[in-house]
Amino acid sequence: MITIAIAKGRMQDGALALLSRAGIRVSEDAINSRRLALKDETGQYRFIFVKPADVPVYVEHGIADCGVVGRDVLLESEADLLLPLDLGIARCRIVVAAADPEAMTKVQGMIRVATKYSQIASAHFGARGIPVEIIQLSGSVELAPALGLADVIVDLVETGETLRENGLTVVEEIAESTGRLVVNRASYQLKTEEVMRLLDTLTTAK
C-alpha cells in the first residue's frame, strides 16, 4: 500500500479529481467525513490530508510515500524529495505586488517585504542584490502595504481578485506554481513498482 499526503485546501479538490480520473477513487462519504486518513476503494492507496507546509515533512520522513503539494510550498521548504511529476493542477503565480506600480524603483535604501514565503522572497531579492527586510506573516498579507507595514508583498496569486480589491497590482512575477507529485527517496527505491504504477496512471490522466 502506498500512502499519499495531500495538501488541504486549494490543492485537495484538484488532486482528488485528478486521482478519480486516474481510476483511484475515494467514496464521497469518506471525503465528507472528518477523518484525516482514508483508503481508496481498492485499498491500494491510503490518503492523509495535512496542511500544505506539512506535506514535505511527512514525505521526507517516509511516513507518506508520496505527496501532492504546490511548487510554492516546495520552494519554501528545504526538504530533500523527488519531484517526478507536474500535475498541472491548482495553477497560480508567485508575485511581488505593491500599491504603487513604481514601488520597486521609488523606495530608497531598504524595501520592506511582507510575505508568508520568506525563503522565496529573500532568494528572489538576494539574487538581484536588492536589500530587503522580510516581514514574516502567516495570512492576509494583502493588508500589509495599505496599513504601512510593508512597501511590497510576495504572495500567491490565482486570479488577482484579492490583490485588486486591496488596491495592489503585480509588479513582478517570481515563479509559476502548480501541484506537484513528490516522492520519498527511500520509497522510490523500495516500492519501485507501486510508485511507477502511480506515476504512469497519473501521467495518463492529467
| Interaction site with another protein (CB under 8 A) | 56-57, 60-63, 77-86, 183-186, 188-190, 192, 196, 199-200
Query: Which grid coordinates are listed for 135?
Result: 516581514
For residue 10, the minimal CB distance to another protein (Å) is 21
Enumerate the β-bridge partners of residue 176: 93
In the complex, minimum distance from the CB of residue 50 to another protein, in angstroms, rounded to a whole number: 13
Nearer to another protein (CB atom), residue 84 or residue 160: 84
Q: How far is the CB of 185 from another protein (least distance, A)?
A: 6
Closest CB 81 distance from another protein, rounded Å:
7
Cβ–Cβ < 8 Å for 18, 205: yes
Taking each helix axis from N to C end, the angle separating 10-21 and 192-205, rounded to the nearest 10 degrees, works out to 90
Shorter beta-carbon distance to another protein: residue 13 or 86 = 86
Residue among 92 and 163 whose Cβ is closer to another protein: 92
Question: 12 or 77: whose CB is closer to another protein?
Answer: 77
**201: helix, coil or strand?**
helix
Contact yes or no for 74/156 (Cβ under 8 A)? no
Using CA atoms, how far apart are residues 170 and 101, in angstroms rounded to an integer? 7
The residue type found at 96 is V
